């Protein structure tokens, strides 16, 4: 059974701070890792992908991957109230077919 | 920016009825998926579709469910004899390459079985 685990939160940060979201996964053969943002009642929206160990930066977002520890994280710099949403970690396995999602971390950015 | 389009946005149906959820994937995408999300729960994989056939399906995707790509643009999910526990958001997704760049999800269909 492939598992993707996230702290459900809520994670509350003040506006302008760094938000740090974490995810662990059970399938060591996982190859591709994604972060999605989901507003209440809406569909998941892809914000970051990462495939190799290390950091990947895109604007205010940085994804970090450590395959040895089976750990992936997302940093959001200069957090804005509009970043308030649930952040979903998702993993694609070796077969490269389906996404397995974590339960999401609810982020609240307070003005 | 290209979008995955889903219709209807909300469907209410009586228990035991059949429903068809419709999706128009992005035109040059080759891989198509259905996921569902029961309120307050994880997004769950249902089925993947490539080259006009199912490539993988989950335990949820039993004989009650079927998918079809009846023409070059539409991708449908049929749920026969709906049950109360089928109430969920159903998301269609598509991508160009398998597992390469992440899916584009449609806006979803909220299915309510009463």
Three-state DSSP at A83 gives: helix
Q: How confident is the model at residue B70 (pLDDT cuts 50, 70, 90)?
A: confident
Chain A contacts of B55, Cβ < 8 Å? 97
Q: Are A34 and B105 in contact (CB under 8 A)?
A: no
Instruction: State residue A50's pLDDT score.
Output: 95
Short-list A84, A82, A81, A77, CA closest to A104: A84
CB contacts, 8 Å: A95 with chain B = 56
Chain B nearest C-alpha distance from A23 (Å): 14
Task: Determine the Cα–Cα distance for residues A106 and A79; give it in Å rounded to an integer.
Answer: 14
Burial of B97 (0-12, 13-18, 19+ CB in 10 A): exposed
Interface mutation vs chain B, best among A98, A102, A104, A106, most B CBs within 10 Å: A98
pLDDT digits (tens, 9 = 90+) for A5-61: 999 999 999 999 999 999 999 999 898 999 999 999 999 999 999 999 999 999 999
Of all residues in chain B, the one with the smallest CA distance to A31 is B99
d(CA A29, CA B22): 33
**What pLDDT shows up at residue B99?**
60
Residues B45-63 have pLDDT tens digits of 999 999 889 999 999 999 9
């Amino acid at each position: 059974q492939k598992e993707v685990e996230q702290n459900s939160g809520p994670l509350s940060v003040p506006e302008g701070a760094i938000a740090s979201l974490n995810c662990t996964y059970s399938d060591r053969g996982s190859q591709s890792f994604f972060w999605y943002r989901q507003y209440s009642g809406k569909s998941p929206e892809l914000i970051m992908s990462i495939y190799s160990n290390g950091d990947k930066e895109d604007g205010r977002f940085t994804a970090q991957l450590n395959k040895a520890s089976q750990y992936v994280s997302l940093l959001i710099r200069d957090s804005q109230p509009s970043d308030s949403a649930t952040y979903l970690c998702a993993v694609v396995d070796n077969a490269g077919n389906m996404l397995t999602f974590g339960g999401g971390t609810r982020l609240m950015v307070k003005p | 920016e290209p979008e995955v389009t889903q219709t209807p946005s909300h469907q209410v149906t009586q228990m035991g009825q059949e429903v068809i959820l419709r999706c128009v994937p992005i035109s040059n995408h080759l891989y198509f998926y259905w996921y569902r999300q029961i309120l307050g729960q994880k997004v769950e994989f249902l089925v993947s579709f490539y080259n006009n056939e199912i490539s993988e399906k989950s335990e949820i995707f039993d004989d009650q469910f079927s998918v079809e790509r009846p023409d070059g643009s539409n991708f449908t999910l049929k749920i026969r004899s709906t049950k109360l526990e089928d109430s969920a958001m159903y998301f269609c997704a598509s991508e160009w390459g398998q597992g390469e760049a992440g899916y584009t999800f449609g806006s979803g269909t909220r299915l309510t079985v009463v």
